[in-house]
Structure 1
């Protein structure tokens, strides 16, 4: 579609993971038109990850938890803007309203089959109908629609200033560093705390490595971290904090990341940190690590030999299928395969 790209609004007001998946879109747009101005409408929690990103000229925060007041604040924040095109990467009513608030003459969204909550009503242009794919691939369809070449780049690496700011958190160590994420926004996606404790002991005892806890400080994360540190003979260093740039730094330093399906998992993959994904509740084919570290995935979503479809819905009670032995095998594989790739043990796209 031939549309002006001088002023682009990107609407993605969802999770940290989806913010990560949006980055190749904004990077590709900026590489295609370096003089374009890209405004990203997003929720407060994810904004800290990308504010200051070289491909993002402006972040407009939409706090959807405020209800009508949040919508009013967003409308006011966008009142002085003029956009050529708005891209609605979500399929929810709230994102459709946010897209309408941009006032862009061209508003691109999903086809009717994939647009939930009547979001197709807010679009003047729609992606061609396609079967469901990985979330990242669906976001990249917007570039194809606009005729913009894809650059599969995220640009989440810590800056030199951030490296200096956070360096004291993680001194150099002789053995490997394995980061562990213990919490998500949904309890059904989490791995039992006692198994993280057992994994920390095996990493410390068998590999001479250290483990660190990264992520947020929700009530469940606090409880899990307290249990792990109080139970493990080799307790992990607790470095959790509500600071996404600090998280990016820590994951850039880790040799391996072990994580369920949550935002830090996708941050780690984007950084090239070898990532052991623990997936049972959500579908790995749609939400798993994108094009990297597939051999490190622990897939408890499907039954042995099952060829489940990419649009298979969430499945309950699967995370407890994942054993410590399975995860330890993947950690060992990650260290053997990737640790010598670069000084930090990371791989390029």
Structure 2
């Protein structure tokens, strides 16, 4: 069973899997699956290269792995953009960076061959591919020397693994990742993201905020997302931000990367009130430090949303084509605003086939988001909280 929405990708994985199974049949017939015993594991490689938000949702795996395999050294293979999140992480011993060409357009084949030629010399007792993607399994897991190779088979490539994690059905990605740990016998403990900011980083964030003439409590918003279909219309953002300023009477900081600057400038030009833009002015960790200080964060389904959840910042998240069941903020201090469009469950989030493009996002009103913010700050918000616009 494949968990792949895009039909072309589903067919290509099916063909590749059938061919791969046939070619690897002599090896798989000789292979014997053995239990992953803690005493046999001294080195672990955890692979999660795409994307920053997904990497954040992988972080809770690290503590259970460290507790199940206490004598092991844990290496995390991730993309350069996500690597700062693992600086000073409580349970990661090493971070290795690589941007695969199958996920990142700027990467290329030559970089892959240079990387894998060197990296495959290393030996890990246990390799875990957290995404369940045939490309990661074929091109990153298969070339490595490892006694145990573990992942899901729902994205293809199961024949290349020593252990295939059973897929329990659609659930939040944090639980999806933790199910790998449970499969390996890891203890179920209170969730720990392991993400820690230093005192210097927190101090620098406060100083940055003060230089913007902002003192005391403040609100944050992020109007962008990695995928255009997940972004709320700019005029709706402007209307909401004015409502937030009027309702709460607190300064509003707009967060984003350098590629969000033009969008944020257009939004600010539409506003009646005044917001402060930090677009392109903070690193990922600096953004985290600012978010940690915020009284409220409003955003689309995006990497900063997952960062806010990991920091336990009160968050109102707007969902359209993506499924909140899988990727909502994994935090009790959050509320999701969404409308029930059945096509979302068959949407690959790259193209919209409705008569009104991006109808699921456009159906969300600024007033509905404001109500969600009021609900959250009144203490009534829940992780599964959801409000519609009708």
Q: What's the TM-score, normalizing by structure 2?
A: 0.78
Q: 1:277 aligns with which of 309, 317, 321?
A: 317
Q: 2:225 aligns with which of 167, 179, 184?
A: 184
What secondary structure is seen at the aligned counterpart in 1 of 2:224? coil
Bigger radius of gyration? 2
Query: Is 1:164 matched up with 2:203?
Result: yes
Cα distance in 1 for partners of 2:36, 2:132 equals: 23
Q: 2:73 aligns with which of 37, 54, 59?
A: 37
What secondary structure is seen at the aligned counterpart in 2 of 1:337? coil
Query: Is 1:235 matched up with 2:271?
Result: no
Q: 1:2 aligns with which of 22, 26, 36?
A: 36
1:254, 1:273 within 8 Å by CA — same for their partners in 2? yes
Cα distance in 2 for partners of 1:67, 1:93 equals: 18
Query: Is 1:332 matched up with 2:371?
Result: no
CA RMSD of aligned residues (A): 2.3
What secondary structure is seen at the aligned counterpart in 2 of 1:234? coil
Consecutive unaligned residues in structure 1, runs of 5 or more: 340-349
Match of 2:86 in 1: 50
Cα distance in 2 for partners of 1:73, 1:256 equals: 44
Query: Is 1:88 matched up with 2:104?
Result: no
Match of 1:292 in 2: 332
State the shift of 1:9 in Å.
Answer: 0.3
1:228, 1:235 within 8 Å by CA — same for their partners in 2? no
Query: Is 1:249 matched up with 2:289?
Result: yes
Q: Name the stretch that deviates more: 308-317 or 23-32.
A: 308-317
2:320, 2:344 within 8 Å by CA — same for their partners in 1? no
Cα distance in 1 for partners of 2:201, 2:54 equals: 23
Match of 1:343 in 2: none
State the shift of 1:121 in Å.
Answer: 3.0
1:157, 1:249 within 8 Å by CA — same for their partners in 2? no
Cα distance in 2 for partners of 1:51, 1:101 equals: 27
What whole-Å deviation, never above 9, does each CA across 1:27-55 have from its counterpart, x for those lacking one?
22123444421111111111122133121
2:314, 2:376 within 8 Å by CA — same for their partners in 1? yes
Q: 1:200 aligns with which of 241, 244, 249?
A: 241
What whole-Å deviation, never above 9, does each CA across 1:169-225 have from its counterpart, x for those lacking one?
21395664221111111110001112222222222222211111112222xx22221
Cα distance in 2 for partners of 1:186, 1:107 equals: 31
Q: 1:225 aligns with which of 264, 267, 272?
A: 264
Q: Return closer, same or farther for 1:293/1:314 CA change in 2, 3 Å cut-off.
A: farther
Spell out the pairing of 1:137-152 with structure 2 (5 A cutoff).
137-151=175-189, 152=191
Q: Return closer, same or farther for 1:223/1:310 CA change in 2, 3 Å cut-off.
A: closer
Consecutive unaligned residues in structure 2, runs of 5 or more: 1-34, 102-106, 353-357, 382-390
Query: Is 1:130 matched up with 2:168?
Result: yes
Match of 1:344 in 2: none
State the shift of 1:338 in Å.
Answer: 8.0
Q: Return closer, same or farther for 1:189/1:256 CA change in 2, 3 Å cut-off.
A: same
What secondary structure is seen at the aligned counterpart in 1 of 2:145? coil
What secondary structure is seen at the aligned counterpart in 1 of 2:321? coil
Q: What's the TM-score, normalizing by structure 1?
A: 0.86
What whole-Å deviation, never above 9, does each CA across 1:223-257 have from its counterpart, x for those lacking one?
22111222223222111336111111011011111
State the shift of 1:13 in Å.
Answer: 0.8
Match of 1:63 in 2: 99
1:175, 1:207 within 8 Å by CA — same for their partners in 2? no
Counting matched residue pairs gives 327
